[in-house]
């Protein structure tokens, strides 16, 4: 099993906000992802300039690919960057981590995502896609997809219908297993009909948090939402934050609690790391319950730090805990 991810290659700029006032000023919903233009990006950078900022490689599927590689599993990634300082930073970070990059280059600025973290640990993104927005279906090479067995796609790509449907269609024709994360509740709500058709036609495994699941299903209860999510896929995964996660496969419904309850410092990449843990379990041919436990394990660690990276000694600890989960009866 070899996993190839495709998504928006971004550099995350993390800003810890003292309160919610900036979000109100920007008129953005807490916890949402918002696409912005270059002028808004420049203005926003000025507003947060006095705050403590951290720069890290980002993008939802990119985070998953990196975390999966840190678990010792091979991972590949398709994205588009510019030939600028942000693009170089992005390439250097993922290359150092050992992710096999299949990048496309565009002579424009690389994408950046301002992740504004409020005191409750919630993150709200204002994303300038830059080069990432220029990725086209014609640039996705069949020869790259043929090197992998599974394709992992982020919902943020639905802004380009031709691209996301085209790459899923190509993957399906090659017999790849297609895994899809809804990415953000406002992404789902704004393009629900198209996303539901994508899931029906191409997707094998789908991931969503509670708000995304409700937006997709048009339901307001977890049970109804995961039932609706699972109609056309082999496996549906619904994450309920500190309540754990639900996995539905055929008629089997599994609930797995969080690894350990903790007040999050920053929820950025929590879902991305959950997916990495889940995929690691799949690679190890573990049960769905253990896959979810591994997802919960990785999420537990990433929400204790600001940003999307963990130190090497923490990864040693995680790999040890993961082995305990895999070995448990």
Task: Read off φ and ψ for residue 108, nearest 5 degrees.
Answer: -140, 180
Confidence label for 285 from pLDDT (cuts 50, 70 and 90): very high
Count of residues in the chain: 329
Residue 81 has pLDDT above 90, yes or no: yes
pLDDT at 179: 98
Query: In sequence order, which residues have a C-beta less than 8 Å from that of residue 158 and are 6 or more positions away?
Result: 164, 187, 191, 194, 195, 198
CB–CB of 103/9 below 8 Å? yes
- DSSP 8-state code for residue 324: H
Question: Which one of 3.30.1360.120, 3.90.1300.10, 1.10.10.10, 3.40.1190.20 gives the CATH number of domain 3-7+58-109+130-327?
Answer: 3.40.1190.20
Domain ranges of the chain: 3-7+58-109+130-327
**DSSP-derived secondary structure letter, 50:** T
DSSP single-letter state for residue 118: -
User: Across residues 79-89, what is the average pLDDT?
Assistant: 93
| Mean pLDDT, residues 181-196 | 92
Mean per-residue pLDDT, 168-173:
98
Does the global pTM surpass 0.75?
A: yes
Give the model confidence (pLDDT) of 100-152 as tens digits: 999 999 999 899 989 898 988 888 989 899 999 999 999 999 999 999 999 99
Q: What is the pLDDT of residues 236-282, one digit of tens each?
A: 999 998 899 999 998 899 999 999 999 888 888 899 999 999 999 99
Beta-carbon-side half-sphere exposure of residue 44 (alpha carbons within 13 Å): 29
SS3 content of the chain, % helix, strand, coil (to 5): 45, 25, 30
């Amino acid at each position: 099993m070899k996993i190839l991810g495709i998504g928006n290659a971004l550099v995350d700029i993390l800003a810890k906000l003292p309160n919610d006032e900036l979000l109100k000023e920007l008129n953005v919903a807490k916890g949402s992802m918002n696409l912005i233009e270059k002028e808004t990006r420049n203005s926003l950078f000025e507003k947060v300039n006095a705050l403590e900022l951290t720069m890290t490689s980002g993008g939802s599927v990119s985070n998953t690919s990196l975390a999966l590689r840190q678990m010792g599993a091979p991972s590949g990634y398709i994205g588009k960057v510019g030939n600028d300082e942000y693009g170089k930073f992005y390439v250097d970070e993922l290359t150092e981590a050992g992710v096999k990059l299949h990048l496309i280059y565009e002579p424009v600025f690389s994408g950046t995502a301002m992740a504004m973290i409020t005191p409750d640990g919630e993150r709200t993104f204002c994303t300038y896609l830059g080069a990432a927005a220029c990725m086209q279906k014609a640039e996705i090479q069949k020869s790259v997809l043929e090197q992998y067995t599974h394709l992992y796609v982020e919902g943020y790509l639905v802004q380009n219908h031709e691209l996301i449907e085209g790459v899923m269609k190509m993957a399906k024709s090659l017999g790849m297993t297609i895994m899809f994360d809804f990415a953000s509740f406002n992404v789902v709500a704004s393009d629900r009909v198209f996303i539901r058709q994508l899931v029906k036609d191409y997707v094998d495994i789908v991931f969503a948090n509670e708000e995304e699941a409700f937006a997709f299903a048009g339901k307001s209860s977890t049970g109804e939402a995961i039932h609706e999510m699972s109609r056309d896929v082999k496996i549906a995964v619904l994450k309920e934050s500190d309540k754990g996660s639900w996995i539905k496969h055929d008629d089997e419904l599994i609930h797995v609690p969080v690894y350990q309850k903790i007040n999050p410092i920053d929820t950025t990449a929590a879902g991305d790391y959950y997916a990495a843990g889940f995929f690691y379990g799949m690679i190890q041919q573990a049960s769905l319950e253990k896959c979810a436990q591994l997802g919960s394990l990785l999420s537990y660690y990433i929400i204790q730090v600001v940003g999307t990276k963990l130190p090497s000694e923490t990864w040693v600890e995680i790999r040890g805990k993961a082995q305990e989960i895999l070995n448990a009866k």
